[in-house]
C-alpha cells in the first residue's frame, strides 16, 4: 500500500527513523543518565529521583541480579504499581542484560502462576501488598529469588518509615504473608553497591521484554519485544513528538500502570529518552487524590484511556486546574469517544489526540498529528517507518476508502518477533510478508487516516448487517445524562443478535425509554439498542479498558 499518509505528516516529522542510532534500551538509558544527570527523572508522592539517582540505583540493582548468577536473557518478573522502585528495577534488569516480565499486581494466584511458569522467571520483584498472592503459588513456579519492597522504600527519612507504617498498620493495605528467604529491596541495593556490574553486550535482536497479552480472550501469551522493537518505537514516538516537545523540558503525568505497554513505552521509556520528568501516580482510581496531585504540578503532557479522561472530567476541582503549560493529551488503549474528547477540549483548552497500538507493536502504530485542533474520529496516521495494509479475510490487500473495510495489518521495526514458545500462534498473526494481523477491522481514507470500526470478535451481526459497538457507544455517550456506556451483542430469536447497551447514569432520572428514543434519532433501525441495562459501574481492565467480554 502506497504511503499516501506521508503528505499529512506535520512539518518536522520524518518519513523514516534512524534505527541504528542506539544499540539497545541500555544504550539509551546510559546516555540519558549522563546527558540529563541533574534533571528530575521520576517523582512519586512528592519525592524525586534525578537521572543520576536512577543511574546509580539501577546499576546497584543490576549488579545484585548478576551476583545471583543470572546471565543474559534470564527472566526477571516485576509486580508493582507506579512507585519509584519500578524504574530502578526495570533499568537494573535491562542493564544486567536480563529480560523483563511485567506482571499485573492485581492478578489472581492462577494468573500469576501461569505467567511465572510460562515465562520461566527465576526472580520476582514484588511490592508487599501483593506478596500474599505470590505466597500461594510460589512453590509451583521456577522462581528462586523473591525481592520484596514497601511503598515508601525509596523515600527519605522520616517519610519512608511513616508512609510504610500508614500503609501497613493504619490503612491495613498489606495482607499477612510469609515467604522464607525473601530479600528486602533496600538490602538488594546495599549489597549491589558493593558488587561490580559486568558489561553485557546487547543488540537489536536481544529480547528486552516478555509482555503478556491476550488474557481477556484466553490464556495470556508473552509477546517477545526485542531491544530493536523498543528502540524503533522510541525513535518513532520521539520523532512524532519532536516538533511539539523539547528535550529536558517536559513533565508527563503517568497514571496508567507502568506494567502496561502504553505507559511503559509512551511514558516511562519515551520521556526517559528525552530527559523528561515522569510523575508517577500510584492510585489513579482515587480521582479526588489524583486531582489534588495534579494541582501541585505544572504538567505538559498526559496519556490515558478514555475512561481515565472521562473520570477526571467528572471529578470536582479538575476544571479549576492550571492548564497553562499543558500541551499534549494522548488517548489510547481503547476508542476515545467524541463526547469525552469534546468536553476535554472545552475544559482544558487542548485537543485529546487519539493514538493506536498493540502490545505486539511495542505499542505505537498510528497516531493523529499533534497539530489536530479537534477530534476527528480516527486513530490517525501510520507513524514513521511504519507500513499499513487493509486486508480481506483471504489476506488480499484492499485499497483506500470507506468501502474498503478489512483487517488492519501493520509492518515496521516495532512489530514483535513472535509469541514466547508459541510458534503456532505467532504464525496465525503474522503474514508471510511480515505484517501483523491486528484483529482490528477498519479502513484508511484517501488521506491515509485510519478508522477502526471494531474488533473482529466484538462485531454484532443483526439480520445479516454488521453493527460495530464503537458507533453505538459514541452516540449514547453523547447523551447528557450518561456517564459511561458499553454496547454488546446478545442472542435474539428473530435477528440472530440484538444490540444491548449497558449504561452508568450521570443523572438518576434517566430511563431506558429516553435512551432508545435518543438513539432512534441517530441510528438506523437495525443498529438500535433493543435492550438497556443500568449498572453502577462497568467491568474494566486495570488500565480502564471496558471488558465487553464480561458484559456479553
User: Would you tell me which CATH number, out of the four given (3.40.50.1970, 3.40.50.980, 2.60.40.10, 3.50.50.60), belongs to the domain 51-202?
Assistant: 3.40.50.980
- The average pLDDT across 337-349 equals 96
pTM of the predicted model as reported, rounded to 2 decimal places? 0.91
- Decide if 542 contacts 305 (C-beta within 8 A): no
Q: In this predicted structure, which of 239-248, 408-417, 519-528 has the lowest mean pLDDT?
A: 519-528
Distance CA(548)–CA(86), nearest Å, equals 30
pLDDT tens-digit series, residues 267-322: 999 999 999 999 999 999 999 999 999 999 999 999 999 989 999 999 999 999 99
pLDDT at res. 465: 79
Q: What's 13's DSSP letter?
A: -
- The average pLDDT across 351-374 equals 96
DSSP assignments along 468-511, one per residue: -HHHHHHHHHTSTTEEEEEEEEEEETTTEEEEEEEEEESSTT--
- Decide if 282 contacts 82 (C-beta within 8 A): yes
pLDDT tens-digit series, residues 56-102: 999 999 999 999 999 999 999 999 999 999 999 999 999 999 999 99
Place of cell 499518509: 5
pLDDT tens-digit series, residues 499-524: 999 999 999 999 999 999 999 988 88
Q: From residue 422, how far is each of 116, 224, 247, 428 by CA, in Å? A: 16, 10, 40, 10
DSSP helix/strand/coil, 314: coil
51-202 with 459-551: one CATH topology? no
502: which residues sit within 8 A by CB, 6+ positions away? Answer: 485, 486, 487, 488, 533, 534, 535, 538, 551
CA geometry: angle 55, 57, 61, nearest 5 deg: 115
CATH superfamily assigned to domain 459-551: ANL, C-terminal domain (3.30.300.30)
- The average pLDDT across 490-504 equals 91
163: which residues sit within 8 A by CB, 6+ positions away? Answer: 45, 151, 152, 155
What residue segments make up the domains of the chain, in order of their start? 51-202, 459-551
Give all strands (DSSP E) within 201-264, no chain letters.
Answer: 207-213, 221-226, 251-254
Distance CA(326)–CA(220), nearest Å, equals 37
- The average pLDDT across 220-227 equals 95
pLDDT surpassing 90 at residue 463: no
Q: Which three cell numbers stand for residue 350?
A: 487542548
Amino acid at each position: 500500500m502506497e504511503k499516501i499518509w506521508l503528505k499529512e505528516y506535520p512539518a518536522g516529522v520524518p518519513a523514516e527513523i534512524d534505527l541504528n542510532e542506539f544499540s539497545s534500551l541500555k544504550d539509551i538509558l546510559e546516555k540519558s543518565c549522563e546527558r540529563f544527570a541533574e534533571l528530575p527523572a521520576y517523582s512519586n508522592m512528592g519525592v524525586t529521583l534525578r537521572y543520576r539517582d536512577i543511574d546509580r540505583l539501577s546499576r546497584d540493582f543490576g549488579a545484585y541480579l548478576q551476583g545471583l548468577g543470572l546471565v543474559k536473557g534470564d527472566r526477571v518478573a516485576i509486580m508493582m504499581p507506579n512507585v519509584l522502585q519500578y524504574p530502578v528495577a526495570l533499568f537494573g534488569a535491562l542493564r544486567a542484560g536480563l529480560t523483563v516480565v511485567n506482571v499485573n499486581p492485581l492478578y489472581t494466584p492462577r494468573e500469576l502462576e501461569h505467567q511465572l511458569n510460562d515465562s520461566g522467571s527465576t526472580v520476582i520483584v514484588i511490592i508487599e501488598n501483593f506478596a500474599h498472592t505470590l505466597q500461594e503459588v510460589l512453590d509451583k513456579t521456577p522462581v528462586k529469588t523473591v525481592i520484596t519492597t514497601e511503598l515508601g522504600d525509596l523515600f527519605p527519612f522520616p517519610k519512608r518509615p511513616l508512609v510504610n507504617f500508614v500503609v501497613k498498620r493504619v490503612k491495613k493495605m498489606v495482607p499477612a504473608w510469609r515467604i522464607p528467604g525473601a530479600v528486602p529491596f533496600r538490602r538488594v541495593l546495599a549489597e549491589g553497591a558493593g558488587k561490580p556490574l559486568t558489561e553485557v553486550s546487547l543488540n537489536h535482536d536481544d529480547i528486552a521484554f516478555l509482555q503478556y497479552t491476550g488474557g481477556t480472550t484466553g490464556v495470556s501469551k508473552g509477546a517477545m519485544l526485542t531491544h530493536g522493537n523498543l528502540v524503533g518505537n522510541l525513535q518513532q514516538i520521539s520523532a512524532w513528538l519532536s516538533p511539539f516537545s523539547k528535550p529536558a523540558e517536559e513533565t508527563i503525568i503517568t497514571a496508567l500502570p507502568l506494567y502496561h505497554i502504553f505507559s511503559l513505552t509512551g511514558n516511562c521509556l519515551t520521556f526517559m529518552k528525552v530527559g523528561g520528568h515522569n510523575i508517577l501516580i500510584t492510585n489513579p482510581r482515587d480521582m479526588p487524590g489524583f486531582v489534588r496531585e495534579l494541582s501541585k504540578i505544572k504538567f505538559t503532557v498526559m496519556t490515558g484511556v478514555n475512561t481515565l479522561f472521562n473520570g477526571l472530567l467528572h471529578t470536582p476541582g479538575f476544571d479549576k486546574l492550571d492548564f497553562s503549560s499543558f500541551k499534549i493529551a494522548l488517548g489510547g488503549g481503547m476508542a476515545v469517544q467524541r463526547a469525552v474528547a469534546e468536553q476535554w477540549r472545552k475544559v482544558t483548552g487542548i485537543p485529546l489526540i487519539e493514538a493506536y497500538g498493540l502490545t505486539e507493536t511495542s505499542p505505537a502504530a498510528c497516531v493523529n498529528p499533534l497539530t489536530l485542533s479537534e477530534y476527528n474520529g480516527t486513530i490517525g496516521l501510520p507513524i514513521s517507518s511504519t507500513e499499513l495494509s487493509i486486508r480481506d479475510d483471504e489476506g488480499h490487500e484492499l485499497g483506500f476508502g470507506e468501502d474498503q473495510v478489512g483487517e488492519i495489518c501493520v509492518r515496521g521495526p516495532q512489530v514483535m518477533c513472535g509469541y514466547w514458545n508459541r510458534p503456532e500462534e505467532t504464525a496465525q498473526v503474522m503474514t508471510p510478508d511480515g505484517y501483523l494481523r491486528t484483529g482490528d477491522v477498519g479502513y484508511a481514507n484517501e488521506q491515509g487516516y485510519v478508522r477502526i470500526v471494531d474488533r473482529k470478535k466484538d462485531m454484532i451481526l443483526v439480520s445479516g448487517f454488521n453493527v460495530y459497538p464503537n458507533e453505538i457507544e459514541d452516540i449514547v455517550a453523547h447523551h447528557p445524562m450518561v456517564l459511561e456506556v458499553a454496547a454488546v451483542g446478545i442472542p435474539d430469536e428473530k435477528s440472530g443478535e440484538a444490540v444491548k447497551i449497558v449504561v452508568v447514569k450521570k443523572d438518576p432520572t434517566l430511563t431506558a425509554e429516553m435512551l432508545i428514543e435518543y438513539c432512534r434519532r441517530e441510528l438506523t433501525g437495525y443498529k438500535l439498542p433493543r435492550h438497556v441495562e443500568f449498572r453502577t459501574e462497568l467491568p474494566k481492565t486495570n488500565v480502564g479498558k471496558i471488558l465487553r467480554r464480561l458484559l456479553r
